Chain A
Amino acid sequence: MKTSPKVQKEVIENCKAGDEKAFAEIVFHYQKKVFNIAYRMLGNLEEAKDLAQEVFISVFESIKGLKEEAKFDAWLTQIALNHCRNRWKYLKRRQYFNSDSLDDPVETEDGNMPRAIVDPSDNPETLYEKKMIQQFIQRGLLKLKEDQRELLVLRDLQGFSYEEMAVLLALPKGTIKSKLHRARVDLKGILERAAH
């Protein structure tokens, strides 16, 4: 994983004992990763923040049940993915994403901005364009199936290895690879269709 470094084993043990400082340290170390997974999976900053907080509450409530501290990362990611799946279903039931289109304005950290399909290769160095591309990709991700989005987020955005993904998703590496390829091709198709 390319994100937050692993916390020390003692911190996890202290957190298990109910130490709030240890818990705060864990949150500090993993908040960005959890928040980004949530944001890429849900496409909404507020929902992502709320979900990430829920994930850490779940961690605090259930960390006593964690037997192997070495697997804390995978355990935490699993909790985050489960929360994302549940929240996605919840939001989908309430037709939260129905009006979503690649032409809709995109919510960013700087507020809503109009969508413009620009070939980033024209001027890839521009920050504005980068942000545009990011939002364009985000919308494309949200158009994918949930499990495909999960694969892309884990592998291409979070940098998980195939081995880690195989453990997290309980699937063989080969299956993950072929599914991931299908997800990438589908995303390419979505973005191309949106661009033309």
Chain B
Amino acid sequence: MDCEKVRDRFSSLWEKELTPSEEKIVREHFSSCPECQKEFERFEKTMGWLRSVGEVEVPEGFLPELYKKMEERKRAPLGEKTRGRWFGFPLSLKLPVQAVAMVAIVFLVLYFTKMMPMEVTRLKDAQPPSFPLSEEKKSEQVWSQKEMEKERRVLETPPETPRSKDVDLAKAPVPREEKFEGAYVPPVKAEAKKVETPSSRTEIMAYQQIESKEAAGAKAPPPGPGKIEKGLTAKEKSVVASKPPQEIILRVSDREKMIFKLQELVKQFGGEMVTTEENMFLASLPTDSLSEFKKELVELSTPTQADKVIAKKQVTGKLKAAPGVKKEEVDEKSKEPAKLAADQESRTVVRILLIQE
């Protein structure tokens, strides 16, 4: 038996738990190994000291102090008791409770940090449909008001005056359209809260009218003076036709001759016959030459009989389409038809009625 195995048996040897044969082997080893012999002697000494350690007497007043402590515990507030009880619970009960609490905390934290912003955006998206609609309406109203003002400003601006930015925008419908759809909207929303809208419905209609007009303008930008000869495209025709024409009634004696002369005159003024019916003609003419055309037309007709040229009405498409638009604007537009025409379109449709005598 080697030293290590012998030393592992010191406790058993000291407690006399080894079998006689084992004890004999160990004792034989001691006789041959003085190191192990010395080591066992030191072990015996340590064990002797250890076993010699006597018991300590319990301090006096142990029991009365114990009773005192128990009394104090009884009087202790309920909170302290429960707190103490929690620490006394077995780990098998405490761990699941703590785990559940942790999970709950984690979920709460996630909810407050991650979910809440999503909820908010979702709520924003799911706002009642009436609200954004009214917002939109408001913005549209404000926009239409602004547009009206712009137009008024454009109308009031003399041709010589250098154009302001607004006028430029009014002149160029396509970029303005872009602006309205894009960068223009957000400030309007902001303004919508500030501006009070008086009534609305008519103005919204007006806005829609303006928009459609602009859309039309965007589709068919006004042709320059040099392009008039090229004639009207189908689109232009439809646009022109959609607008109420000026009406001229002529009293003639020779119908055929008058028709021929009329066509000549229209051509002379750079216009075009749009439709030719039995006694009614629609002619598209440059607005600039309209007054001269009228004069010539009067001269063509029979001096005695056809001196009566009736311009029944001169209503712009806009005015007719939007009857609710303020009167002031109508007045202004009627005062300056040329300017308006120059701004909006350069051709006018004239309806000529022939009355044979």
Contact = CB atoms under 8 A, between A and B. Distances in A.
Interface of A: 3, 24, 27-28, 31-32, 35-36, 39-40, 45, 48-49, 52-54, 56-57, 60, 109, 120-121, 130, 133-134, 136-138, 152, 156-157, 177, 180-181, 184-185, 187-188, 191-192
B50 A57 contact: no
B172 interface: no
B66 A57 contact: yes
Contact of B65 (A48, A53, A121, A192): A53
Interface of B: 7-8, 10-12, 42-43, 45-47, 49-59, 62-63, 65-66, 69-70, 73
A154 to B, nearest CB: 12
Contact of B57 (A40, A109, A133): A109
Contacts of B59: 35, 45, 49
Given A53-B65, A136-B49, A180 B56 contact: no
Contact of B69 (A57, A109, A133): A57
A27 B66 contact: yes
Given A28-B63, A180-B11, A181-B11, A121 B52 contact: no
6 contacts: A45-B56, A53-B62, A109-B57, A130-B54, A184-B46, A185-B43
Contacts of B58: 31-32, 35, 49, 52
A10 B45 CA distance: 44
Contacts, number: 88
**Top 10 A-B pairs, shortest CB-CB distance:** A181-B11, A188-B46, A53-B66, A35-B58, A156-B50, A134-B53, A31-B58, A36-B55, A133-B49, A49-B59
Contacts of A192: 42
A32 B46 contact: no
Contacts of B46: 184, 187-188, 191
A138 B57 contact: no
A24 B70 CA distance: 12
A185 to B, nearest CB: 7
A173 to B, nearest CB: 11
B143 to A, nearest CB: 73
A interface majority secondary structure? helix
B53 A138 contact: yes
B52 to A, nearest CB: 6
A44 to B, nearest CB: 11
A130 B8 contact: no
Given A52-B62, A181-B12, 5 more contacts: A36-B55, A137-B53, A177-B12, A184-B43, A188-B42
Contacts of A187: 46, 50
Nearest to B66: A53
B52 A130 contact: yes
A27 to B, nearest CB: 6
A3 B54 CA distance: 11
Nearest to A54: B69
Contacts of B63: 24, 27-28, 31
A65 to B, nearest CB: 12
B181 to A, nearest CB: 70
B62 A31 contact: yes
B53 A121 contact: no
Contacts of B50: 137, 152, 156-157, 184, 187
A32 B52 contact: no
A133 B63 CA distance: 30
A57 B58 CA distance: 16
Contacts of B73: 57
B38 to A, nearest CB: 12
Contacts of B7: 185
A156 B46 CA distance: 11
Contacts of A134: 52-54
A192 to B, nearest CB: 7
Given A31-B62, A52-B62, A53-B62, A36 B56 contact: yes
B148 to A, nearest CB: 81
Pick from A39, A56, A138 the residue with the most CB of B within 10 Å.
A56
A187 B51 CA distance: 13
Q: Which of A134, A137, A188 has the most CB of B within 10 A?
A: A188
